[in-house]
Amino acid sequence: MKCHVCGGEMRAVVTDLPFKLSQKTIVILKALPVMQCKKCTEYLLEDRVMDRVEAMMNKVDQGAELEILRYAA
């Protein structure tokens, strides 16, 4: 898989990523498997990971300012 920004090689890594859920709610997902470019900061989520992330986001309390979740495969 190639990076669509710079054409660099994408590799699978496990990282922590923040997601802005709403104007005031930020969710940090820990230990998330992503494909990351070796040359630039571009990354992408595989479809099955994205589906699970969305399911987790739907359960987050919208009143919270910061939620930290662990992505469990």
Report in angstroms the alpha-carbon separations of 35 from 4, 21, 27, 48, 54: 12, 21, 19, 13, 17
Check binding of 8 to Zn ion (CB under 5 A). yes
CB 34 within 8 A of CB 49: yes
Report the residue from 12, 14, 31, 40 that binds Zn ion according to the rule CB under 5 A.
Answer: 40
Binding segment for Zn ion among 5-13, 21-29, 46-54, 62-70 (CB under 5 A)? Answer: 5-13
- Cα–Cα distance for residue pair 36/46, rounded to 1 Å: 11
Nearer to Zn ion, 1 or 6 (CB): 6
Check binding of 27 to Zn ion (CB under 5 A). no
List contacts with Zn ion (CB under 5 A). 3, 5-6, 8, 37, 39-40, 42
